[in-house]
Structure 1
Amino acid sequence: MSVLAEVFREPTLAGVARELATLAAPLWLAALVGLLIGWAWRPRWAAAVVDVAGNNHHEPVAAAAAPATVADHFAIVPRAKPASVAPVTEEEELAVSTPDLMHLRRVVEEKDGGPAWTHMMDRTLQTFRYQAWKREPQNGPPQYRSSTIFEDASPDVVRDFFWDDDFRISNTWDDMLLEHDTLEECTKTGTMVVRWVRKFPFFCSDREYVIGRRIWASGKTYYCVTKSVPRPSVPRCSKPRRVDLYYSSWCIRPVESRNGDGAMTACEVLLFHHEDMGIPWSIAKLGVQQGMWGCVKRIEPGLRAYQTARASGEPISKCAAMAHANTKFVADELTASENNTEAGSTSNNAQAEKPKHWTGNLPKVFVIGSVVALACTFDKGLLTKALVFGTARRFAGPGRR
């Protein structure tokens, strides 16, 4: 206030304006530096907000970045043409393609390079056994892996059961699914794009999913991939809220019955699942831990009802019929093709790596230097300097997000 009083004692209006400009200059400089820092290190959610506000006719950045986020959490090798799989030209036009199969196979074999799995649950009932694991990547929601072994169940029926959205709703074994629509389908490969609306607890709005899905078959083993896909043609609404990161895939295969007779009459379902539901991950983890077994127990009665309906000759739904249009492949040939692709990719990456020149850090040095200079000239208070220097350290550090 004393400084302002001195300013207004100037004899002329021009003098007052000049002194006010001099007083406000550090504030404008701080705002400019703040804008530079915010633009250089803006988080993904801020980019999405800007995009929604300025371009309502485009898909938000979060949706467009969803496939890249999935790739960050699960390393997917570049697309290649494996033997006995559809040509690359066709694959590139599909919502789910060969790299997704390669990735799922690596996860099944625990060769995807992710963190180690931690055991969560082991439950055994008369007709099935359930085990679950989880892991927590540094950047991404918790991931879950489960193994469910159903006695007296064939992989073909189990495959159709999980693909049949109509039966999910009519039987209510999946009581979270409220509605489903088929947006795209390829009858040759069985690839589909579907829209789901799932019910969430009362304190959350319902969630909307746009999912691409496809099945590959190697003998009696089925690899069923479902994941979120960006579709700008599907308009967003405030309710239900769109989920942009979703991955839920199965490996369904015959296994030996626990009866001990050596017969392969049981079926194992290996499930790999993670999603970003838009709620804190710690709360989501707690909800999964508390509700997992209750949800799993509903699956087995639903499967038995589905087996009974199929045995009685009831016609299958269109969703289940699409599960029959799966893509056949030879596992050994696909593995050999994947190994060759990975070897070529490693060689290219080794050639591309070059030492970085110190001039590449000039933008960061300029911004941090500006912040430091501002801290030294803006005012003499320790609080201001601590705040500005702390901000500089945060943005200069390797762990910014």
Structure 2
Amino acid sequence: MAALVDVLLGIFRQHTLGGAALELAILAAPLWVAALIGLLIGWAWRPRWAAALVGDHGQQQEAAAEALGPPAPQPMLAPITAPAEVSFRDTAAVVPRADVVASPEEERLAVNTGDLMHIWRLVEEKDGGPSWIHMMERTLPTFRYQAWRRDQSNGPPQYRSSTIFEDASPEVVRDFFWDDEFRIKNTWDDMLLQHETLEEDTKTGTLVVRWVRKFPFFCSDREYIIGRRIWASGKTFYCVTKSVPRPAVPRHSKPRRVDLYYSSWCIRPVESRKGDGSMTACEVLLFHHEDMGIPWEIAKLGVRQGMWGCVKRIEPGLRAYQIARTAGEPLSMCAAMAHVTTMFNADELDTEDNVEASPSSNNIEVEQPKHWTCNISKVLMIGGAIALACSFDHGLLTKAVIFGTARRFAGPGR
């Protein structure tokens, strides 16, 4: 260390700025060579998320879609009507028990009973997936929040959260999350820029909608083509939203299409924290994952840093929605379609074909230690950060940012 200090002092004793710059360049050359070698090795061992940076993922999906041939014809859907003509309040599509298993008409829908079984298994923790890692827990007077994450071997990170709102009914919470017009009007979801309904089935309540969501300045906005449908078992609602292929909707470079998106809720009444035994609280179990075209490790960092800020905006939005409903404001078409639910009995679901999975013990608090070879990419990243920090004399703040970024990526659980 003393030798390095002597060398640096000798450099800065140079009589000319050009001489000092030349000496610094010579000193930094080995570091830059090491960083370049690290980049070449890292690219040769390219991790799974690197394909997203060059568009390999999207090309593979398009090639697979071409290999499968044209999509199956969709059922004839009712034309979209104006909100004033919609009258769906308290209506429901009752499906016989046999239809819960399967039917050709049901399978042709954008969201079908296979999706119901999937979210039911997620709620019951019988989907056979990896263990959930506890991320966060917050408690405020009017709601409680917990979040978990798990990593897939061949897909983006998956998130599960439990939000319990005091003094809220499942029916109003269901309409609140389905109401895209109120999302934009109230701005509780400030990422949603545009929404439009492409298809609707007034018999089952199945919708296909198009979203455009705002992303940070260094990313282009994202476009989503989403299928939506709600099932009801008593006062418990299973609300499924997922990406659906629609080749007829043209793609554009901006906004960029997101092909993998899943965000579904189980909304159910729970006991209030008041301790009087009343079921006046409402729990929202959310299951979410998507491939935004951003490296998954960076996306995980962004989600972890911004999650609580987004969650805090939901509760004021819900209270404003409750006030509007109490005041008698008319339902939007989106919220009216939330009343067209498919009824079923959750107790009668056939669970014999469920994959074996451990129940509530499937949650863990900390990540398991990994083999040392899994840390090679972290070492390369730290080495690159050191090269940057030591090669540019931009002050302590710049170096702190560089080292801090490397530490976040290399830290445990990141």
**Same fold flag (TM > 0.5):** yes
* Inter-partner Cα distance in structure 2 for 1:287 and 1:188: 40
Matched, 1:137 2:137: no
- Residue by residue over 1:145-164, the C-alpha shift from the partner in whole angstroms, topping out at 9 and shown as x without a partner, is 00000000000000000000
**Aligned match of 1:128:** 143
Unaligned ranges ≥5, structure 1: 1-42, 66-80, 344-401
Tell whether the 8 Å contact from 1:227 to 1:246 is kept in structure 2 after alignment. yes
Matched, 1:322 2:341: no
Q: Over aligned residues, Cα RMSD in angstroms? A: 2.6
Distance 1:59 1:267, change over 3 A: same
Distance 1:62 1:246, change over 3 A: farther
Matched, 1:313 2:328: yes
* Inter-partner Cα distance in structure 2 for 1:274 and 1:291: 15
Aligned-residue offset at 1:332:
1.7
1:277 maps to amino acid: M
Higher relative contact order (CA closer than 8 Å, sequence separation 6+) = 2
Distance 1:47 1:316, change over 3 A: closer
* Inter-partner Cα distance in structure 1 for 2:294 and 2:106: 34
**Aligned match of 2:315:** 300
* Runs of 4 or more consecutive aligned structure 1 residues displaced over 3 Å after TM superposition: 43-52, 58-65, 81-87
Distance 1:211 1:193, change over 3 A: same
**Aligned match of 1:259:** 274
* Inter-partner Cα distance in structure 2 for 1:292 and 1:48: 27
Distance 1:279 1:265, change over 3 A: same
- Residue by residue over 1:80-107, the C-alpha shift from the partner in whole angstroms, topping out at 9 and shown as x without a partner, is x954649612212210000100010100
- Residue by residue over 1:311-353, the C-alpha shift from the partner in whole angstroms, topping out at 9 and shown as x without a partner, is 00000100000000010001122x23x42x559xxxxxxxxxx
* Inter-partner Cα distance in structure 1 for 2:241 and 2:61: 27
Of residues 222, 226, 238 in structure 2, which corresponds to 1:223? 238
Tell whether the 8 Å contact from 1:59 to 1:232 is kept in structure 2 after alignment. no
* Inter-partner Cα distance in structure 2 for 1:260 and 1:129: 15
* Inter-partner Cα distance in structure 2 for 1:85 and 1:154: 26
- Residue by residue over 1:37-73, the C-alpha shift from the partner in whole angstroms, topping out at 9 and shown as x without a partner, is xxxxxx8965854897xx9xx97789999xxxxxxxx
Distance 1:332 1:61, change over 3 A: same
* SS in structure 1 of the partner of residue 323 of structure 2: helix
Unaligned ranges ≥5, structure 2: 1-50, 72-95, 356-414
- Residue by residue over 1:141-187, the C-alpha shift from the partner in whole angstroms, topping out at 9 and shown as x without a partner, is 11000000000000000000000000000000000000001001111
Normalization by structure 2: what TM-score? 0.64
Matched, 1:278 2:277: no
1:224 maps to amino acid: C
**Aligned match of 1:166:** 181
Matched, 1:247 2:262: yes
**Aligned match of 2:387:** none
* Inter-partner Cα distance in structure 1 for 2:340 and 2:261: 23
- Residue by residue over 1:192-226, the C-alpha shift from the partner in whole angstroms, topping out at 9 and shown as x without a partner, is 00000000000000000000010000000000000
Q: How many aligned positions are there?
A: 279
Normalization by structure 1: what TM-score? 0.66
* Inter-partner Cα distance in structure 1 for 2:325 and 2:250: 37
* Inter-partner Cα distance in structure 2 for 1:272 and 1:264: 23
* SS in structure 1 of the partner of residue 159 of structure 2: strand
**Aligned match of 1:210:** 225
**Aligned match of 2:124:** 109
* Inter-partner Cα distance in structure 1 for 2:283 and 2:61: 44
**Aligned match of 2:249:** 234
Tell whether the 8 Å contact from 1:182 to 1:192 is kept in structure 2 after alignment. yes
Tell whether the 8 Å contact from 1:85 to 1:327 is kept in structure 2 after alignment. no
Matched, 1:180 2:233: no
2:212 maps to amino acid: V
**Aligned match of 2:283:** 268
Of residues 165, 177, 187 in structure 2, which corresponds to 1:150? 165
Distance 1:47 1:176, change over 3 A: closer
* Inter-partner Cα distance in structure 2 for 1:51 and 1:85: 30
* Inter-partner Cα distance in structure 2 for 1:94 and 1:185: 10
Tell whether the 8 Å contact from 1:47 to 1:61 is kept in structure 2 after alignment. no
**Aligned match of 2:369:** none
Tell whether the 8 Å contact from 2:102 to 2:113 is kept in structure 1 after alignment. no
Identity %: 75
